[in-house]
């Protein structure tokens, strides 16, 4: 071990030695990630019990830390980078993305102001303009990076609230008429959380019913807006989703946008997962009408191989977003303020990481064509899996598959008791996950226990989808044989 001094940073030669070692560690991990069980075999408390109760008084060697990383941390890790991680909305980190994170940590700039981080501020704006063009949003859209879609959407709802008037910025919510936000029954609960945070309240949200394909019904939206106005309630925001979390259903944005334009209501689009597919000409059909939105959220950390976290909020009204949040303390005023964007003005956080760097690495390394071909392959594999489900006499699809998320269940021939079928599918899911070979998750659709299989991992190939299907069929057969 190289002895550390009691002041200053780790010596350069030590950094270099372990730096190379850790890059080897990462390379080995990514090369062999498929050999781990996707889900670790741990119980709550297992990790804590292996860790000391107190921090060390004197410094420890990096060797020792790496030893514990291997002994304690790795065995208790759910492997999101695993090719058979097909749960939630899978997100994987690519090599170039990992490099971007490394350099961002090394530079450690705080991107609150242009002056505090000119490169970060301007790279963020440039890369987000590139990406706006890639996903075919109109020029008027201006983008900003937040950590997650939940936070992006909260800021969008704050801008919508500011846009409604009432001087809420100054006076707060008391004395303001009741405000209403609309989203479909299938919208992500981050929308509800944003509304909660902003004092809209759960009662301030109306969930619009969906059709048989889990898409918001525009005529229902129109009806409740009218009803609310008649009761003195002020409609201020509609959230439409392109790629809902349960089924990746797509709300009819074009029709919803017409209603919003006519009613002068802020339209926010949640495309956290599926928004990246707007770069594929054949997926354009799902994005009709997005040009009329006031704001749009998409997460490159979900399905674009950028390490978590990086979410983008695009808005055509950045001045409204800024009005909702900007307050400038004397010590943060700079000579360039009129010529630049200080990103602290567009949200609740002051300090910001240099997140655009990893996105820049990813966009440049893969190029638009490289990203397109990877997304296309995932969609092909998703459609292939959906076809296998359709063709199997004892399985059925529970929702359409517009992208690469397949919602399905087992339905043994001759069985009609829905409660029993639900229980069987729940067991199927748990037994499949217990094999450690695949990780999938579920949702409930109209009371139906629905298994979801998502293909969006950078390391997932056709052989992994075949493996998943074989594990699912074998496990199903075992359950049938057990009676």
Ligand X SMILES: *Cc1c(COP(=O)(O)O)cnc(C)c1O
- Rounding to the nearest 10 degrees, give the CA dihedral for residues 15, 21, 24, 26: -60
Nearer to ligand X, 183 or 433 (CB): 183
Query: From the CB of 87, what's the least distance to ligand X, in Å?
Result: 12
Contact 108, 62 (CB under 8 A): no
Contact 143, 128 (CB under 8 A): yes
Helix%, strand%, coil% for the chain, nearest 5: 50, 15, 35
Residues 6+ apart with CB under 8 A from 300: 131, 276, 306, 310, 311, 312, 359, 362
Query: From the CB of 406, what's the least distance to ligand X, in Å?
Result: 16
Site for ligand X in 74-93 (CB under 6 A): 89
> What binding mask, one character per residue, do residues 11-50 give for ligand X by CB under 6 A, x or -?
----------------------------------------
Nearer to ligand X, 303 or 385 (CB): 303
Strand partners, 296: 269, 314
- Cis omega (within 30 of 0) for bond into 169: no
Half-sphere exposure of 130 (CA within 13 A, CB side): 15
Binder of ligand X out of 161, 180, 268, 273 (CB under 6 A):
273
> What binding mask, one character per residue, do residues 150-179 give for ligand X by CB under 6 A, x or -?
x-----------------------------
Task: Could you list the beta-strand ranges (E) of 122-246.
Answer: 142-146, 179-184, 205-208, 234-241
Q: Does 241 bind ligand X (CB under 6 A)?
A: yes
Q: Does 98 bind ligand X (CB under 6 A)?
A: no
What does the DSSP assignment read for 109-158? Answer: --TTSTTT-HHHHHHHHHHHHHHHHHTT--TT-EEEEES-HHHHHHHHHH
Q: Does 181 bind ligand X (CB under 6 A)?
A: no
User: How many positions of this chain bind ligand X (CB under 6 A)?
Assistant: 15
Nearer to ligand X, 188 or 452 (CB): 188
Nearer to ligand X, 128 or 149 (CB): 149
Binder of ligand X out of 116, 148, 247, 460 (CB under 6 A):
148
Nearest to 100 by CA among 70, 81, 124: 124
Both tokens of residue 402?
């517009």
Site for ligand X in 184-213 (CB under 6 A): 188, 190
Backbone dihedral region for residue 120 (phi beyond 0: left; psi -120 to 50: alpha; all else: beta) = alpha
> What binding mask, one character per residue, do residues 278-307 give for ligand X by CB under 6 A, x or -?
---------------------x--------
Stretch that binds ligand X, among 38-46, 122-130, 267-275, 380-388 (CB under 6 A): 267-275
Q: Does 270 bind ligand X (CB under 6 A)?
A: yes
Query: From the CB of 112, what's the least distance to ligand X, in Å?
Result: 22
Contact footprint for ligand X (CB under 6 A): 89, 148-150, 188, 190, 241, 243-245, 270, 272-273, 299, 311
């Amino acid at each position: 071990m190289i002895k550390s001094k009691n002041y200053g940073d780790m010596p350069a030669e030590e950094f270099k030695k372990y730096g190379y070692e850790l890059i080897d560690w990462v390379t080995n991990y990514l090369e062999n990630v498929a050999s781990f069980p996707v889900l670790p075999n741990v119980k709550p408390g297992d990790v804590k019990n292996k860790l000391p109760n107190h921090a060390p008084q004197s410094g420890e060697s990096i060797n020792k830390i790496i030893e514990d990383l291997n002994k304690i941390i790795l065995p208790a890790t759910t492997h999101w980078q695993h090719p058979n991680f097909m749960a939630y909305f899978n997100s994987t980190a690519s090599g170039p993305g990992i490099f971007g994170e490394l350099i961002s940590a090394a530079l450690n700039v705080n991107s609150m102001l242009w002056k505090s981080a000119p490169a970060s501020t301007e790279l963020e704006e440039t890369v987000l303009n590139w990406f706006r063009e890639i996903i075919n949003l109109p020029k008027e859209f201006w983008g900003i990076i937040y950590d997650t879609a939940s936070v992006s959407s909260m800021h969008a709802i704050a801008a919508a609230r500011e846009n409604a008037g009432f001087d809420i910025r100054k006076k707060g919510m008391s004395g303001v008429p009741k405000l209403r936000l609309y989203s479909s029954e299938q919208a992500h609960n981050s929308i509800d959380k944003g509304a909660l945070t902003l004092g809209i309240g759960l009662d301030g949200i109306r969930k619009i019913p969906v059709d048989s394909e889990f898409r918001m019904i525009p005529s229902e939206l129109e009806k409740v807006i009218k009803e609310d106005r008649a009761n003195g309630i002020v409609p201020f925001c509609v959230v439409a989703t392109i790629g809902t979390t349960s089924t990746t259903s797509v709300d009819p944005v074009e029709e919803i946008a017409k209603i919003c334009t006519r009613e002068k209501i802020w339209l926010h689009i949640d495309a956290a997962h599926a928004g990246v597919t707007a770069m594929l000409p054949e997926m354009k059909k799902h994005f009709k009408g997005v040009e009329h939105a006031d704001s749009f959220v998409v997460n490159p950390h979900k399905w674009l191989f950028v390490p978590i976290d990086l979410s983008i909020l695009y808005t055509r009204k950045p001045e409204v977003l800024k009005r909702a949040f900007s307050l400038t303390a004397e010590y943060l005023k700079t000579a360039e303020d009129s010529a630049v964007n200080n990103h602290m003005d567009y949200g609740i956080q002051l300090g910001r990481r240099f997140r655009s760097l990893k996105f820049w690495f990813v966009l440049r390394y893969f190029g638009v064509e490289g990203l397109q071909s990877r997304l296309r392959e995932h969609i092909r594999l998703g459609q292939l899996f959906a076809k296998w489900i359709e063709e199997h006499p004892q399985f059925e699809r529970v929702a359409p598959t517009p992208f690469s998320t397949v919602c399905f269940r087992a339905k043994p021939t001759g069985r009609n008791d829905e409660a029993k079928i639900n229980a069987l599918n729940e067991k199927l899911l748990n037994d499949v996950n217990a094999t450690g070979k695949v990780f999938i998750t579920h949702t409930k659709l109209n009371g139906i226990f629905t298994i979801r299989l998502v293909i969006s991992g950078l390391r997932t190939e056709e052989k992994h989808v075949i493996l998943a299907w074989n594990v699912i069929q074998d496990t199903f057969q075992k359950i049938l044989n057990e009676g």
